[in-house]
Chain A
Amino acid sequence: MNTAAEVKTEAVASTSTTADAPLIQVRDLAMTFDVSAPWLNRVLERRPRQLLRAVDGVSFDIPKGKTLSLVGESGCGKSTVARLLLGLYTPTRGSFTFDGQDAHAAFKTPAGNVLRRRVQMIFQDPYASLNPRWTVEAIVGEPLSEHGLITDPVALRQRVGELLVQVGLAEGDRSKYPHQFSGGQRQRISIARALATEPEFLVCDEPTSALDVSVQAQVLNIMKALQKKRELSYLFISHNLAVVRHVSDYVGVMYLGRLIEVADKATLFATPRHPYTRMLLDAIPKMHATGRARTPVQGEVPNPLNPPTGCAFNPRCPLANDRCRNERPVLHLAGTTQVACHAVEEGRG
Chain B
Amino acid sequence: MTLLQVQNLVVEFPGRRGTLRALDQVSFDIAPGEILGVVGESGAGKSLTGAAIIGLLEPPGRIAGGQILLEGERIDQLDAEAMRHIRGRRIGAIFQDPMTSLNPLYTVGRQLTETILAHLPVTKAEARRRAIALLADTGIPAPEQRIDHYPHQFSGGMRQRVVIALALAAEPKLIVADEPTTALDVSIQAQIIQLLKKVCRERGAAVMLITHDMGVIAETCDRVAVMYAGRVAEIGPVHEVINHPAHPYTAGLMAAIPDPMEDREMLNQIDGSMPRINAIPTGCAFHPRCPQVFDRCHVERPELIDAGPTRAACWLRQEATV
| Contact bitstring A106-148, B, C-beta under 8 A = 1, else 0 | 0000000000000000000000000000000000000000000
B247 to chain A, nearest CB (A): 14
| Contact bitstring B200-229, A, C-beta under 8 A = 1, else 0 | 000000000000111110111000000000
Chain A residues lying within 8 Å of B216, measured Cβ to Cβ, are 285
Q: Which among B130-138, B254-262, B310-318 touches the partner chain? A: B254-262
| Contact bitstring A202-229, B, C-beta under 8 A = 1, else 0 | 0000000000111111101100100000
Q: For chain A residues 287-306, which have a beta carbon within 8 Å of chain B? A: 287-289, 294, 296-297, 300-301
B196 interfacial by beta-carbon distance below 8 Å: no
Chain B residues lying within 8 Å of A218, measured Cβ to Cβ, are 269, 271
Q: For chain A residues 156-207, which have a beta carbon within 8 Å of chain B? A: 182-185
Q: For chain A residues 254-289, which have a beta carbon within 8 Å of chain B? A: 266, 269, 279-289
**Given A221-B266, A285-B193, A285-B218: A297 and B187 interface contact (C-beta under 8 Å):** yes
Which single member of B155, B194, B212 contacts A213 (CB below 8 Å)? B212
Contact B187–A217 (Cβ < 8 Å): no
- State in angstroms the CA–CA spacing of A287 and B212 once bound together: 12
- State in angstroms the CA–CA spacing of A246 and B264 once bound together: 7
Which single member of A212, A269, A282 contacts B42 (CB below 8 Å)? A212
Contact A284–B260 (Cβ < 8 Å): yes
Q: Interface centre among B41, B42, B185, B271, by most A CB within 10 Å?
A: B185
The number of chain B residues touching the other chain, given as a range, is 35 or more
B100 interfacial by beta-carbon distance below 8 Å: no
A242 interfacial by beta-carbon distance below 8 Å: yes
Chain B residues lying within 8 Å of A221, measured Cβ to Cβ, are 266-267, 269
Q: Interface centre among A213, A279, A296, by most B CB within 10 Å?
A: A213
A239 interfacial by beta-carbon distance below 8 Å: yes
B138 to chain A, nearest CB (A): 14
Chain A residue total in the interface (Cβ 8 A)? 40
Chain A residues lying within 8 Å of B193, measured Cβ to Cβ, are 285
B118 interfacial by beta-carbon distance below 8 Å: no
Taking CB as reference atom, which chain B residue is nearest A219? B269
Contact B256–A213 (Cβ < 8 Å): yes
Chain A residues lying within 8 Å of B122, measured Cβ to Cβ, are none
A243 interfacial by beta-carbon distance below 8 Å: yes
Chain B residues lying within 8 Å of A297, measured Cβ to Cβ, are 187, 190-191
Chain A residues lying within 8 Å of B274, measured Cβ to Cβ, are 212
Taking CB as reference atom, which chain A residue is nearest B42? A212
B263 interfacial by beta-carbon distance below 8 Å: yes
Which single member of B218, B254, B256, B257 contacts A289 (CB below 8 Å)? B218
Chain A residues lying within 8 Å of B212, measured Cβ to Cβ, are 212-213
| Contact bitstring B21-53, A, C-beta under 8 A = 1, else 0 | 000000000000000000001100000000000
**Given A184-B273, A213-B212: A242 and B41 interface contact (C-beta under 8 Å):** no
Contact B187–A224 (Cβ < 8 Å): no
Q: Interface centre among B212, B254, B256, by most A CB within 10 Å?
A: B256
Residue numbers of A with Cβ under 8 A of B are: 73-74, 182-185, 212-218, 220-221, 224, 239, 241-243, 245-246, 266, 269, 279-289, 294, 296-297, 300-301
Q: List 19 A-B contacts (CB under 8 A).
A: A73-B186, A184-B273, A185-B273, A212-B42, A213-B253, A218-B271, A242-B260, A245-B260, A246-B263, A269-B261, A280-B187, A281-B260, A285-B190, A285-B215, A287-B218, A288-B242, A288-B259, A289-B218, A296-B191
